[in-house]
Amino acid sequence: MPSAPAPPPVLHPRFPASSFSCPRRTHPSPRTRPRRLSAAREMPWPHVLTVAGSDSGGGAGIQADIKACAALGAYCSSVITAVTAQNTAGVQGVHLVPEEFIRQQLNSVLSDMSVDVVKTGMLPSAGIVQILCESLRKFPVKALVVDPVMVSTSGDALSDPSTLTNYRDELFSMADIVTPNVKEASKLLGGIPLLTVSDMRDAAASIHKFGPRYVLVKGGDMPDSSEAIDIFFDGKEFVELHGHRIKTRNTHGTGCTLASSIAAELAKGSTMLHAVRVAKNFVESALHHSKDLVIGNGPQGPFDHLFRLKCPPYNIGSQQMFNPDSLFLYAVTDSRMNKRWDRSIEDAVKAAIEGGATIVQLREKDAESREFLEAANACVEICKSRGVPLLINDRVDIALACNADGVHVGQSDISAREVRELLGPGKIIGVSCKTPAQAEQAWNDGADYIGCGGVFPTTTKANNPTLGFEGLKAVCLASKLPVVAIGGINATNAGSVMELGLLNLKGVAVVSALFDRECVMTETRGLRSILTDAFACFRS
Ligand SMILES: Nc1ncnc2c1ncn2[C@@H]1O[C@H](COP(=O)(O)OP(=O)(O)OP(=O)(O)O)[C@@H](O)[C@H]1O
Ligand SMILES: Cc1ncc(CO)c(N)n1
Ligand SMILES: [Mg+2]
């Protein structure tokens, strides 16, 4: 029997019938476009663009990316590179989207929307990698997460071997992090076997030479053990990330989920190591909560990215490490003020925490070292017992001696890069920045946050130029790191700073308005409530 003629394609009425494409319309970036709403009313939404393939089974690829971003509070747009016929048994077919149509999707999203982070998954041909690189040069974003998807855990090939060269030579040098699994790491390095954690370290170091800022070699597919170990490498130091290995068949899409969770955390303002830790923890928790689900009949099932909806409280898997939200109300002590009000550093710190300070910095410009260390030791205990991070201004020696949570440095102190070398990867490092260039340098040096100011005139620092809101905005928009505003901030003006609605502005740092006052606790409490109201107002 002759087959029936194919029905005409159903086109959107606006599109010309001869083509599936509509003429390209570009829009100015929302950052340069006049705002329709007042800044205080515009609700920021961290934005990840995933450039990846569709998994018909719904567990990996684009589908995993969108679910992971949604679960972690980021918006996810998607450029689809390929459509796979895939289920819990493996990959039955791959259909590539035409390269020019991928370029068109990239243009549509990147020319219109303010994308914070691009995450890549399946890039099945060398041409697609090239097109992506061109688009990223045209529309730079804050961070690029490259999951070099080549082989699925089921062992099926997901990209043409010819893409290897483009990955290594073009895309990796633009990437902030690349996240190969052990099979992919082996392929990238010419097929060397990776059998041990030590092999994974060597592979991370070799892949780092291709140009990414960070490398994460994932150990999900390593032979049986009670732990799932990933290796993080920043070019100098390795961090072994240990997680519980969940005994389950439902591990399809762990890699895609991990990379898009990293992207979501970066879009929210996290530092890289923090983002990776949160992402790994998220995957582990999702696997744990989904371990007995049954979807499909094959050997590898999907898991539930939205498990948190079913099991409040919603903070499962939260970690005790640097959380940019802790910058919300940053109390900075001042020795002269303590002397003026006849209070010890310890009493000042206790009162600030009692009033609601979320992080504390000891800034003792003219204290004797021994006396300072004694006070710092006491403050470490006070802060630890109350779950508030304690940083030391400038004095790396004191921070090391009292095992503080980190150090804050200014532009004329030793550089964040040197502080990182001395303190190691697990400590918090903040840098005072007045310009976008300094913010960029802080990111390159491996800092965790920047302090930006003086926003208003201040008496605490002599000869300190005032940036105003415009200066603060310029630095926030350029900064890849979370920002805390500082300089002359008090109960009268703190609300207006938060109401600027800048996405990575996480809080305010205050000296005089807390410590040059009779009752530190009352002042801190008052300021905390003002900040909470202002924050709620711009989020609503
Ligand atoms: N059974 C498990 N229990 C806990 N964590 C796991 C398990 N399997 C994988 N992981 C973690 O999931 C993340 C992704 O690693 P994996 O090596 O599975 O990536 P992948 O092979 O690229 O994933 P896929 O191809 O299935 O999307 C890593 O952090 C890894 O440690
Ligand atoms: C579409 C797609 N992307 C990535 C992976 C890797 O898990 C997969 N299995 N399918
Ligand atoms: Mg895997």
Note the pLDDT of residue 502: 87
**Residue spans of alpha helices (H) in 209-245:** none
Residue 519 amino acid letter: C
Distance 233 CA to ligand 2 centre (A): 24
| CA-based nearest residue to 47, from 268, 324, 274, 276 | 268
153 in contact with ligand 1, CB cutoff 6 A: yes
- Does the CB atom of residue 181 touch ligand 2 within 6 A? no
The CB of 355 under 6 Å from ligand 1? The reply is: no
User: Is 35 strand, coil or helix?
Assistant: coil
* Ligand 1 neighbourhood includes 123 CB (under 6 angstroms): no
Over the stretch 246-282, which tens digit does the pLDDT of each residue have?
889 999 999 999 999 999 999 998 899 999 999 999 9
Ligand nearest to the CA of 255: 1
| Cα(89) to centroid(ligand 3), Å | 14
Confidence of residue 362 (pLDDT cuts 50, 70, 90): very high
410: enclosing H helix or E strand:
none
Please give the model's pTM, rounded to 2 decimal places. 0.61
Decide: 181 in ligand 1 pocket, CB within 6 A: yes
Ligand number with the minimum distance to the CA of 259: 1
Q: Report how far apart the first and last C-alpha atoms of the chain are (Å, whole number).
A: 62
Q: What ipTM was reported for this prediction?
A: 0.96
Question: Could you tell me if the CB of 301 is within 6 A of ligand 1?
Answer: no
Backbone angles phi, psi at 221, to 5 degrees: -95, 15
Q: Both tokens of residue 145?
A: 């997460």
CB-CB contact of 244 with 289 (8 Å):
no
Q: Whose CA is nearest to atom 9 of ligand 2?
A: 152
Report the C-alpha gap between 243 and 220 in whole angstroms: 10
Regarding the beta carbon of 60 and ligand 2, being less than 6 Å apart is answered: yes
Tokens 């690189």 map to which residue? Answer: 133
Ligand nearest, relative to CA of residue 303: 1
Atom 6 in ligand 2: residue holding the nearest Cα: 152
- Nearest CA owner, ligand 1 atom 18: 220
Nearest protein CA to atom 22 of ligand 1, as residue: 255
CA 281 → CA 10, 190, 316, 518, distances in Å?
A: 44, 31, 9, 44
Q: Which of 65, 66, 119, 152 to mutate to test the pocket of ligand 2 (most atoms within 8 A of CB)?
A: 152
- pLDDT over threshold 90, residue 449: yes
Alpha helices in 245-356 (DSSP H): 254-267, 272-289, 307-310, 335-340, 345-355
Helices (H), ranges, 403-493: 416-423, 436-444, 468-478
> In angstroms, what is the span from residue 317 Cα to ligand 3's centroid?
20
256 lines ligand 2 (CB under 6 A): yes
Average pLDDT over residues 316-334: 76
- Give the separation between CA 511 and CA 439, rounded to whole angstroms: 22
Q: Which ligand lies nearest the alpha carbon of 247?
A: 1
Instruction: Verify whether ligand 1 is closer than 6 Å to residue 61 (CB atom).
Output: no
Segment 186-196 shows an average pLDDT of 94
Q: Residue type at 408?
A: H
CA of 470 to the centre of ligand 3 (A): 46
Cβ–Cβ under 8 Å, residues 329 and 531: yes
Catalytically active residues, by annotation? 218, 251, 253-256
Alpha-carbon gap, residue 441 to 421, rounded angstroms: 16
Identify residues whose C-beta is under 5 A from ligand 3, the ion: 153, 220-221
**pLDDT above 50 for 24:** no
How much of the chain exceeds pLDDT 90, in percent?
71
Residue 253 beta carbon below 6 angstroms from any ligand 1 atom: yes
Q: Is 30 helix (H, G, I), strand (E, B) or coil?
A: coil
Share the mean pLDDT of the chain: 88
Best mutation site among 122, 147, 250, 257 for ligand 2, i.e. most ligand atoms within 8 A of its Cβ?
Answer: 122
Q: Decide: 287 and 303 in contact? Cβ < 8 Å.
A: yes
Phi, psi (deg, nearest 5) at residue 512: -60, -45
Residue with tokens 């090391």: 400
Q: Mind listing the pLDDT tens digit for each residue in 207-234?
A: 999 999 999 999 998 877 778 999 999 9
C-alpha separations of 320 from 86, 130, 317, 481, 510 in Å: 38, 40, 10, 19, 24
- Residue 152, ligand 2, Cβ within 6 A: yes
Ligand 2: which of 154, 256, 258, 283 to mutate, most ligand atoms within 8 Å of CB?
256
Q: How far is the CA of 68 from the centre of ligand 1 (A)?
A: 14
- What's residue 15's pLDDT? 34
**By three-state DSSP, how is residue 302 classified?**
coil
Q: Is the pLDDT of residue 470 over 90?
A: yes
Give nearest CA residue, ligand 1 atom 14: 255
DSSP H or E stretch at residue 98: none
DSSP, res 270 = -
* Over residues 426-438, mean pLDDT: 94
Q: For the structural domain made of 42-310, what CATH number should be given?
A: 3.40.1190.20
pLDDT for residue 82 is more than 50: yes
pLDDT digits (tens, 9 = 90+) for 30-48: 344 444 444 445 667 999 9
- In this prediction, residue 156 has a pLDDT band, given cuts at 50, 70 and 90, of confident
Architecture of domain 324-539: Alpha-Beta Barrel (3.20)
Give the separation between CA 213 and CA 234, rounded to whole angstroms. Answer: 6
- State in Å: Cα 272 to ligand 2 middle: 23
Query: How would residue 540 be classed by pLDDT, with cut points 50, 70 and 90?
Result: low
Reduced 3-state DSSP string for 112-180: HCCCCEEEECCCCCHHHHHHHHHHHHHCCCCEEEECCCCECCCCCECCCCCHHHHHHHHHHHHCCEECC
Atom 19 in ligand 1: residue holding the nearest Cα: 255
Question: 424 with 448: CB under 8 angstroms?
Answer: no
Q: What amino acid occupies position 267?
A: A
- Residue with the smallest CA separation from ligand 1 atom 16 is 220
CA 378 / ligand 2 centre spacing (Å): 51
Residue 143: φ, ψ to 5°: -155, 150
| Structure tokens belonging to residue 167 | 């990955």
55 close to ligand 2 (CB < 6 Angstrom) = yes
| 181 DSSP 8-state letter | B
The Cα–Cα gap between 124 and 158 comes to 6
If we measure between CA atoms, which residue out of 147, 425, 134, 106 comes closest to residue 263?
Answer: 147
The secondary structure element, H or E, covering residue 101 is helix 99-112
The pLDDT, as a whole number, for residue 311 is 54
Average pLDDT in the 528-539 region?
82
d(CA 115, CA 96) in angstroms, rounded, equals 24
Read off φ and ψ for residue 255, nearest 5 degrees: -65, -45
Which ligand 2 atom sits closest to the C-alpha of 82?
Answer: 1
Of the residues 55, 65, 120, 254, which should be mutated to test ligand 1's pocket, given the most ligand atoms within 8 Å of the CB?
254
Domain spans of the chain, in order of start: 42-310, 324-539
Q: Give me 328's structure tokens.
A: 């919300």
Strand pairing class (143-146; 75-87): unpaired
Contact 228, 245 (CB under 8 A): yes
